[in-house]
Structures are given as C-alpha cells and as structure tokens.
Structure 1
Amino acid sequence: MINDTDPGPVSSALVTAALRSRLTHGQLETWLSSSSGRLLGFVTNTERAMVMLFDEGDDPGEHAVDPDAAGSSDGFVLRNGQNDEYPDEDTVPIHEALRLVEQIVGTGCWPADAHWVADR
C-alpha cells in the first residue's frame, strides 16, 4: 500500500501508474509498505530515483545503484520540503527505478539483473 493515500493494496500491475500519477502531481517521495512490515522507498527528481528497501523500521536497508554513473543530481524533494542531492551511483534512471519497484512489489525481491547494495 502507498502509505499516504488509500490504505488498500497496490498491485505490481498498478504501481507504475500510481507512481507516475504522483509525479504528475509533484509528489516526488513515495513510501510503500507490505503486510509483512517491509518498506519500499522511492524518491525522484523525475530523471533519476533512489529506490530503497527496508525489512523493518530500524533496518539500514538496501538501495539500487548505478555503478557506472558519475557525478551527482539534486532536486530530490522530500515531503517535508527538504531538497536532497545524491551521487548518481546511488540512484538509477527513472525508467529503471519504475521497473525495480514493479518487480519488488510483485515478488518482494530485486530483479536478478538489478544492481543494489546492502547498507546493513
């Protein structure tokens, strides 16, 4: 489920459309939670996104990476108005981020070909 909207479940088939709709309305930060307590974070500047997966509230988690990227990008605006900048290697292009989120929502796991690192 998307934490700040309808409390009902969001399927993998609908999550991409839900995220795109939120982006259209200027919502660059989205948190999804599962019934098992896992959290999936998605923060974007509309070109790149940070995708984070946590097992529970105090878990340092893991996040998608782009090992060949260089530089950094800003414009990752959080719900509280904070504007973050991240190294591009710690974010992925938006189309890849949407693919990752769809897979994680559908299976609970990163795609086999995804690049990610554990922050634990």
Structure 2
Amino acid sequence: MIESWVIDDSSRVPVSADSVREVLRARIDGGQHETWLASSSGRLLAFVTNNERAMMSLLTEEGDPGEHAVDPGVEGSSEGFVLSNGQHDEYPNEDTVPLEEALSLSQ
C-alpha cells in the first residue's frame, strides 16, 4: 500500500509528494510556521521554521519521541521557532536544517 499524507489541521485531502514543498511554502508565507502532516499509516511529520532554519521530526505514532533531521557540525543556535500554541522555541543549529534543505527533504 502506498502511504499518503495530509496536512493534519486542514482538509483531509492527500498532499502529493510533488506539491508538499509548495504547500509548506504557502503556509510559511501565510504566517503558519508549524505544520503537522499525518500519514495513512499513522506516522506524523512535524515541520516548524523560523524562516531561516527548520526543525523536522518524524514520529512513528503520536507520543513517539521520533527522529529529526540534523546538520552535524554546525555551531550556535537559532530562536524564533513559534509554535501554533504561541510557544517560542530555540534549537541548537545542529538539530535543525536550512529552510530550503528542509523543503527539499519534505518531498
């Protein structure tokens, strides 16, 4: 069975791999910096950005600590990751990736 993905807080219409980059970019441009995608198999992909870097986490199921994309060897940290609940987060840069790379990884 082919896994399909939907934006978790909007319509239940599947988002194709070819359009996920554009969907994420449109949400970011519209001020939505946190996006959750849910798969038909129960996996979740969290995507949050500060417009320069992105934190991407893949969870097997809700409550799973998950895995995240990393940028090994990068120093420093970045702030300005605003979650939908208003929480402002700061992450070590090695635990995030540049935004354009994250958008490419999401396809």
Cα RMSD (Å):
0.6
TM-score (norm 2): 0.93
- Look up the match of 1:37: 42
Residues in 2 aligned to 1:50 and 1:101: alpha-carbon distance in whole angstroms = 11
Aligned to 2:19: 14
Aligned match for 2:72, one of 67, 70, 78: 67
Tell me the distance in 2 between the aligned counterparts of 1:40 and 1:11: 14
Normalised to the residue count of structure 1, the TM-score between the two structures is 0.83
Structure 2 unaligned regions, length at least 5: 1-5
Say if 2:101 is the partner of 1:96: yes
The unaligned stretches of length 5 or more in structure 1 are 103-120
How far the C-alpha of 1:4 sits from its partner, in A, is 1.0
Q: Displaced runs of 4+ in structure 1, greater than 6 A?
A: none
> Number of paired residues?
102
Indicate the residue corresponding to 2:28 in structure 1.
23
* Alpha-carbon distance, 1:96 to partner: 0.8
CA displacement 1:2-41 (0-9 Å, x = unmatched): 0111111001100000000001111000000001000001
